[in-house]
């Protein structure tokens, strides 16, 4: 199930509405109990955070967050000596410009 659909269903339940029929649940329904309603709102909040995280990660390069190998560090430093820009190095390594910058700082090639 997609996050958007799950959020929609849980929001309706938290409002005491049957997502299938659109009818309001009776007062003695579990969906009308304060603790249940609070739990449903907390669930919506968690799903919205997950939705933002997924959206953010879709825009990240493939290797973002992955550990660096010795070989990749070696290629990075070679690229640095060939005067490739941070943008070019980021594209080559499929990483963010920030991670390229940080790695070059770590290896003493540039200063903060």
pLDDT tens-digit series, residues 39-66? 999 999 999 999 998 888 888 999 999 9
**Cβ neighbours of 12 (radius 10 Å):** 16
Sign of CA dihedral 35, 39, 41, 45: positive
pLDDT in tens, 61-88: 999 999 999 999 999 999 999 999 999 9
Domain ranges of the chain: 3-58, 70-106
Which residues are paired to 24 by β-bridges? 17
**Which pLDDT score is estimated for 55?**
86
Rounded Cα distance, 70 and 103, in Å: 12
3-class secondary structure, 32: helix
Instruction: State the pTM of this model.
Output: 0.57
- The DSSP call for residue 68 is P
Segment 25-49 mean pLDDT: 95
Q: What is the pLDDT of residues 9-22, one digit of tens each?
A: 999 999 999 999 99
Give the total residue count for the chain: 112
């Amino acid at each position: 199930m997609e996050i958007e659909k799950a959020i929609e269903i849980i929001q309706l339940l938290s409002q005491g509405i049957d997502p299938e029929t659109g009818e309001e649940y009776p007062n003695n329904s579990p969906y009308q109990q304060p603790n249940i309603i609070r739990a449903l709102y907390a669930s919506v909040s968690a799903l919205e955070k997950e939705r933002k995280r997924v959206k953010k990660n879709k825009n990240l390069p493939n290797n973002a967050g992955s550990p660096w190998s010795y070989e990749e560090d070696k290629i990075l430093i070679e690229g640095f000596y060939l005067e490739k820009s941070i943008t070019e190095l980021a594209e080559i390594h499929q990483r963010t410009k920030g991670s390229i910058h940080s790695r070059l700082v770590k290896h003493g090639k540039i200063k903060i």
